[in-house]
Structures are given as structure tokens and as C-alpha cells.
Amino acid sequence: MTVFKGYLLGALRQKAVILLYLAIFLVLGMLMTRSMENGAGNAYETETVALTVVDRDGSMLSATLTGYLKRTQDVKSSLTSSPGCRKSCITAISSMCW
């Protein structure tokens, strides 16, 4: 109880500061609410990234990830590689980038 009483005494001594912070908080809250009502809240747009996927794993998880990226991003090419085609994959990727 001593700590709570000390807290209340300190808060009562700083009434003006507490009211000032409360007023600033309320004004900013009202301004943010008003800006959301004016349509500024709809300004967010998703952005897509052009990328190339090289699937060296060939597992179900990597195929699912590749499918998700194709739905949400601009996938230029999806290459599945076997151990023997590493050079052809690198050549294909470098030709897409340059």
C-alpha cells in the first residue's frame, strides 16, 4: 500500500503534466481518426517483385512455396534442377537478369 500511496502522491503533484500529455494523446487520436475517415487508410497497396525460382529440392514443401510465390509475385521462371543441370540453371538465370 505504501508504493501505491507514493505513486498517487507523485501523480497528484504532476497534475498539469499529466493533463498536458492526456490532451496531446486525445488530439492526436482524433486527428488519426479523421484522417482514416477521409480515405487515407486505403492508401496501402501490395507490391509485387519480379523473381526467378530455382527449385533444387523438388519436395512438396518447395512446390507449395513456388505455387504461393506464383500467385502473389511476378515469377519470371520456375526452374527445377537436378544435380546435373546446375550449369544450365545458372545460364538461364543470368540470361534473365542481364
Q: Residue ranges per domain, the chain?
A: 2-42, 50-97
d(CA 28, CA 82): 58
Percent share of the chain, pLDDT over 90: 33
Return the DSSP state at 75. E
* Spatial contact of 53 and 78, defined as CB atoms under 8 Å apart: yes
What pTM does this model have? 0.43
pLDDT of residue 87: 54
Answer yes or no: is pLDDT of 20 > 60.
yes
* Spatial contact of 63 and 55, defined as CB atoms under 8 Å apart: yes
Q: Which residues contact 75 (CB under 8 A, 6 or more apart)?
A: 51, 52, 53, 66, 69
Q: How confident is the model at residue 35 (pLDDT cuts 50, 70, 90)?
A: confident
What's the whole-number mean pLDDT along residues 58-71? 88
